[in-house]
Amino acid sequence: MRKKVLMPLFLILMLLAIPAYAQCPYEGRTVTLKAPAVSVTSTGELVGVPTDFIITVAPGSGHVYVETWPLTQVDMQASARLAAEVAGRVLGVDMSKYDVFIQVKADSPIIGGPSAGGTMTVGIIAAIMGWDIRKDVMMTGMINPDGSIGPVGGILEKASAAHQAGAKIFLIPEGQRIQVVTESKSRQIGPITQITTTQRKVDVVKYAQERWGLKVIEVKDIYDAVYYFTGHKLERPKPRTNVIINTSFLESEAKKDYKETEDYYNEIKRKLAESDVGYSTYSYLKAALDDASRTLKMAEDSLNQEKYYTAMSLDFQARIIIRHVDWYIDVYEGKDIDDIFSEVKDEIKSVENYVSNLTIKGVTMLQTVAASETRIEEAKEYLKEAEASYYNQDYWNAVGNAAYAYERAKTAELWAKLGEKFAGKTVISRDAIKKAARDQLDNAKLIVMYITSMFGEQNLKDLVDLLNKGEEYYEDGKYSAALFSAMEARIRGEVILDTIGIENVSVLKDKLSMMKEDAKNAIGLAQEGGTLPLLSIAYYEFAESYEAKGDLQDIITAMVFYQYAKETALVFQEWKVKVGNTSEVISSPIVTTTTTTSSTTTSTTTTTTTQLPSTSICGPGILLLLPLLALIRRR
């Protein structure tokens, strides 16, 4: 009788133990690191707080578990997941075969998880490889999907926390050595309190050395960070050959586009001369056409310099103006503006149907389809603006927004056709794009939440709107557009963090030079991987056109486009660690690596399999078994 009772009881208890057991690590490796974080005092002051990160990596099924004390913002989980993903890419290790357990302990509630992303990535890599961590090194910096260390806030406060924790070396993101500090002083003049606010620049390297003897070092990416923490060098991926970037693939389209725009300009110039518009309207429209003519001249110069994407962008700007004048003359002479709106709607619908029926083959086509989808959505938004302006009897802006919507739809068609022209052989599944879009949206949200926690959402409305737009694309099933909109939001957020308060052009040019080189390398790696990253190359050339202008805002715009070029080139590109003159998956003490070499070829095949050590039960799982053990003992 007892056997009949015990057996079902045993099965029930084992089933109850499974959820707890699933969250218990196998016999993996654990490393402990310290990282500085920022906490807010009761008076609203930001202070640095040393934080402990206890990271365990063990064979498992790809889960990332985070335990924090005290509780932190939800972005810590997203940052930990990204850290595990990047660690796997850097090492060439399949992280779906591992579980990562991260314990975060601080003395007070901390702000944001992104700034510890780099530290968590180092810890995961060290745990996988079995490397020791230097106890006198600390770091702050986000981890980006490409392995670079992204900018963060509160550098001075975090340097103070690193000193408190006994660090001798403090790693910060490259380019954040100079910090802008805002200071407020109050002075009482009778019944009036006068508050004076000033800003001054602080060299963190000099300040930390003089005040605490703390050595501050800027790091570019996770490869630099791993070296300072462990003494081990992982070679960062680089193109094997010199990278030459040009937009010659657009030459025929650019020349045709320019000729058509020039002909359209001449046609509307004659139309205006022959129209019945009054003197004031004529003068206004003539000035607009003169502006289009100057833009066309710039496009011609770009063609002569073989800057084909830049030329087409200038053609686009000119064509919006020309169509605006064209349609305004029509409305002035009695054409129903609803007919214009119908023409725009038909164009958008036609292009959208065409793009939605495309099968995405290869990363090149993914880029162009994403460009098409975002342009279609932008065209829809401008058409809504046109209709709203018409409702408010603002006919000038109604026609102008309609003209923009129409031309935007035309460029969407162009990019889609380029995608078909340069399509690859491998179909990228909709589910793969959906997953990549979700990951990018989560990463972008991580950055936006972090920035708004420091500077307020009301000051970053455009950034928040851009992220929300990506979410809308995702919900509408436009995953390519969502993927690239999320990427844009994240990049713009990073550039804001990286440039805020900096007005020195030479400092910005140094940052720009680094971004340009990174973008060039990313494009080269994509090309060597068999991808022609059309959108990346186009963005790179466009960034160069802004860089050439040299003004403060133009340099920041160039930064954004160089970052676009880099990130879009790396979409769906896998990384591998270089060992000697070959690329292979690196072996770690946690995994068993079997290498077989064919005697008839020079290729090497590396197969990585997970070696599962003996298991143990932890946490609530063992508690569930205690009553059963008692029963068995009694039996």
Read off the tokens for 215: 């050595």
Ramachandran region of residue 210, left (φ > 0), alpha (ψ -120 to 50) or beta? alpha
Where does the pLDDT of residue 391 fall: very low under 50, low under 70, confident under 90, or very high at 90 and above? very high
- For 416-441, what is the mean pLDDT? 89
Residue ranges of domains in the chain, CATH in brackets: 29-176+207-230 (3.30.230.10)
pLDDT at position 447, please? Answer: 79
- For 247-253, what is the mean pLDDT? 93
Q: What is the Cα–Cα distance from 285 to 293, expressed in whole angstroms?
A: 12
Tell me: the pLDDT tens digits for 119-153?
999 999 999 999 999 999 999 998 887 888 988 88
- For 153-172, what is the mean pLDDT? 92
Tell me: the pLDDT tens digits for 52-67?
999 999 999 889 999 8
Q: What is the Cα–Cα distance from 282 to 267, expressed in whole angstroms?
A: 16
Q: What is the Cα–Cα distance from 250 to 86, expressed in whole angstroms?
A: 34
Q: What is the Cα–Cα distance from 496 to 11, expressed in whole angstroms?
A: 56
pLDDT at 26 over 80: no
- For 411-417, what is the mean pLDDT? 95
- Residue 360 in contact with residue 370, Cβ under 8 Å? no
Q: Are strands 29-40 and 46-59 parallel, antiparallel or unpaired?
A: antiparallel
Between the CA atoms of 226, 229, 230 and 232, what dihedral angle is there, to the nearest 10 degrees? Answer: 40
Q: What is the Cα–Cα distance from 79 to 104, expressed in whole angstroms?
A: 12
Residue 599 backbone phi and psi in degrees, to 5: -75, -15
Q: What angle do CA 583, 586, 590 make, to 5 degrees?
A: 170
- For 206-227, what is the mean pLDDT? 95
* Average pLDDT taken over every residue of the chain: 82
Give the residue from 432, 560, 427 showing the smallest Cα distance to 487.
560
Which percentage of the chain shows pLDDT scores above 70? 80
- Residue 363 in contact with residue 317, Cβ under 8 Å? no
Cis before 70? omega within 30: yes
Q: Are strands 98-106 and 46-59 parallel, antiparallel or unpaired?
A: antiparallel
Tell me: the pLDDT tens digits for 445-485?
877 877 777 667 777 888 889 999 999 999 999 898 898 89
pLDDT at position 409, please? Answer: 97
Among 75-89, 185-199, 476-490, 614-628, the minimum mean pLDDT is found in: 614-628
pLDDT at 573 over 60: yes
Where does the pLDDT of residue 286 fall: very low under 50, low under 70, confident under 90, or very high at 90 and above? very high
CB-based contacts of 556, cutoff 8 Å, min separation 6: 495, 499, 508
Greater model confidence, 632 or 75: 75
pLDDT at 418 over 60: yes
Is-catalytic flag, 115? yes
CB-based contacts of 160, cutoff 8 Å, min separation 6: 36, 47, 48, 212
Q: What is the Cα–Cα distance from 285 to 325, expressed in whole angstroms?
A: 6
Among 193-197, 223-227, 254-258, 276-280, the minimum mean pLDDT is found in: 193-197
> CB-based burial of residue 385 (10 Å sphere; 0-12 exposed, 13-18 middle, 19+ buried)?
middle
Q: Which of 34, 79, 148, 158 is catalytic?
A: 158
Give the residue from 105, 108, 106, 104 showing the smallest Cα distance to 45.
108
Residue 473 backbone phi and psi in degrees, to 5: -60, -40
Between the CA atoms of 447, 73, 169 and 153, what dihedral angle is there, to the nearest 10 degrees? Answer: 40
pLDDT at position 280, please? Answer: 92
Give the residue from 219, 92, 78, 85 showing the smallest Cα distance to 148.
219
pLDDT at position 113, please? Answer: 61
Q: Which of 115, 148, 313, 485 is catalytic?
A: 115
Among 26-30, 97-101, 302-306, 397-401, the minimum mean pLDDT is found in: 26-30
Helix axes 479-499, 505-528, angle to 10 degrees: 150
Where does the pLDDT of residue 72 fall: very low under 50, low under 70, confident under 90, or very high at 90 and above? low
pLDDT at 78 over 50: yes
